[in-house]
Chains A and B, each alone.
Chain A
Amino acid sequence: MSGSSVNETKATRAIRRLGVVVVDPFPVVREGLASTIEVNPGLEVLAQASSAEEAIAVVGGVRRSRVVVLVAMGLAGDKDSYWLIRTLRERFPGYTILGLGANADPHVVSRALFVGADGFVDKNIELDEFLAAIKSAGNEEMVIAGPAAASVGKIAEGIERRRSVGLRLTRREREVLAVAAEGLTAREIAERLGVRERTVTTHLARIYGKLGVGNRLAALRMAARSGLVSIGPAE
């Protein structure tokens, strides 16, 4: 950096550093990730969050044009990691969203990409690879780093499955299916959605027809595999 003063160089660097938001439910992991990232001269941790709602709030407070949000797949509950990725994608379309897994299964990766992640990195990789992946993602390159990188074909198949089921069902039908996944009767579903029981059974019959299945369990199994509804604990 000959010719420029130390102060100028610092200022330029500060502007060029890529902003990162770290979302992970486990404090030790989150802090560890943050300090690891922070040490790298090209990267700067702008904020951390431990839940989806907190993440939305902190990302909303960030003032940067280039931001990478690192979302660990371990967020559970109603507002899980997939919900967060989908919501971030809608509200902050210009930011880069990276799913972060631990030996993640191709299903997890395809679901994360399908709901809006720009790439996926795994904790199970070398540190320099991990940091390089964040930087590439910040440059709007598609990144799959870690064990899942060997399963690109399977990940694409998973996305295709989600897409094909997703294309066949209307939004209302998906809502009905999501409520049905809670194990409610048609009458209870109707009460929940504020419609008549007859309407619900019509919806269900149409859903079975579209998915080519004979009953609710088969429909739910298919929808769960496609990531349309969640059954049981988070992936």
Chain B
Amino acid sequence: MAGRPHTHLAFRLSGSLAGMDVVHAVVAAGHPVVRSVIDFACREAGVTVLAKVETASAAIEACRSRRPELLVLDLELPDADGFRVLSELDDVDRPEAVLVLSDHAEGDLVLRALRLGARGYVTKAEGLRDLASTITRVLAGERVIAPGMEQDAVLALGRFARRAREGAEVAAHLTSREQQVLELLSDGHTMRQIATRLGISPRTVETHVAKVYRKLGVRTRVQAVSRAATLGLVEL
């Protein structure tokens, strides 16, 4: 590209690393064979591999200290799942291009990877063969996800939206006290313990619990806790 870059071209290249001289990558994969396949594909795509690591914690450390432009990340790591790597890195430390590899292709996983900023998602069964060209496309700013997996991610988005809406609706109808009671129930406290904790009578706790059950549309504590967890009202 001699002379001044054309405006259209500059626009096309925004968000892409295609114009860079050398792209640096960190490779994180649990299995040594997968690691070398990725390493090989990176070289084939003209990418310099700065570090090959085996664990999530090493991947986080490598991204923070080496600042690669590309992270090729296996979700199946021995110490934690690959999502940990993406969620622990802040925007500054997270490489601009992230390509995720996994044994699994469920929509929820793809959606989660996309939420955490992944640009590509391929399965190890299907995606290892043409990994070099996938890497090139991801570096050019393209999203690389198999069509079927993309639709699954959209379906997962639909479920996610519905749960979020239902959760927010129920939450809007819970008083602060009921929310507290629900959290203590989920932590496994008895009615008596909840009463002591909140400094109210066991009778009052029972009333709160009954109201919480009604608002959640459940009849037992187990149902209440599981429903509340599904709706994101409590964390288990």
A residues contacting B by CB (< 8 A) are: 110, 113-116, 118-119, 141-144, 149-150, 152-157, 159-160, 162-163, 166-171, 174, 206
- Selected contact of A115 from candidates B118, B165, B174, CB within 8 Å: B165
Judge whether B174 and A170 touch: CB under 8 Å: yes
- Selected contact of B111 from candidates A113, A153, A163, CB within 8 Å: A153
**How many A-B residue contacts, CB cutoff 8 Å?**
77
A-B complex: 8 closest residue pairs judged by Cβ atoms? A153-B114, A142-B158, A166-B168, A163-B164, A113-B161, A171-B172, A167-B171, A153-B115
Judge whether B171 and A155 touch: CB under 8 Å: no
Can you list 28 contacts pairing A with B, beta carbon distance less than 8 Å?
A113-B158, A114-B161, A119-B158, A142-B154, A142-B157, A149-B150, A150-B143, A152-B153, A152-B157, A153-B111, A153-B114, A153-B116, A156-B111, A156-B115, A157-B115, A159-B161, A160-B115, A163-B164, A163-B168, A163-B232, A166-B164, A166-B171, A167-B171, A167-B233, A168-B171, A170-B171, A171-B173, A206-B176
Least distance between A163 CB and chain B CB atoms (Å): 4
> Which residues of chain B in 146-167 are interfacial with respect to chain A, using CB atoms and an 8 Å cutoff?
150, 153-155, 157-158, 160-161, 164-165, 167
Set of chain A residues within 8 Å of B168, measured between Cβ atoms: 114, 162-163, 166-167
Q: From DSSP, what is the main secondary structure of chain B's interface residues?
A: helix
Report the Cα distance A96→B102, complex, angstroms.
34
Least distance between A147 CB and chain B CB atoms (Å): 12
Q: From DSSP, what is the main secondary structure of chain A's interface residues?
A: helix
Q: Smallest CB-CB separation from B116: which chain A residue? A: A153
